[in-house]
Amino acid sequence: MPQIRPITDLRNTNEISEICHKYREPIYITKNGYGDLVIMSIETYERQLALVDVYKKLAEAEAQITKGVPLLDGEEVFKNLRDKYATK
């Protein structure tokens, strides 16, 4: 469940920090009853960025499939990678 706090709660930065880390979710800050800010831990932020990156790559792959770009054989790709990076 999202945490929604008034902007006055930002005075207690330690509490806000603990909530961000404990729940691993953003905290939504309101000002005069309206949404104003979003605060989150660095870990949560980095996780969000990673998800955005995955979604972007999936969208690119779907666009390539739609355009008819030929697919690579998974087994062949992994075999080539093993051959290239195998320890000798």
pTM over 0.85: no
- What's the confidence (pLDDT) of residue 10? 95
- What's the confidence (pLDDT) of residue 32? 96
- What's the confidence (pLDDT) of residue 88? 60
Contact call for residues 41 and 23 (beta carbons, < 8 A): no
Tokens of 6: 């008034």
Mean pLDDT for each consecutive 10-residue tract of the chain (88 residues)?
93 95 96 97 97 97 94 93 85
Please report, for the chain, the start and end positions of each structural domain, with discontinuous segments joined by +.
3-40, 44-85
Tokens of 56: 């972007």
Contact call for residues 20 and 42 (beta carbons, < 8 A): no
- What's the confidence (pLDDT) of residue 1? 79
Tokens of 18: 């603990």
- What's the confidence (pLDDT) of residue 2? 84
Amino acid at 36: D
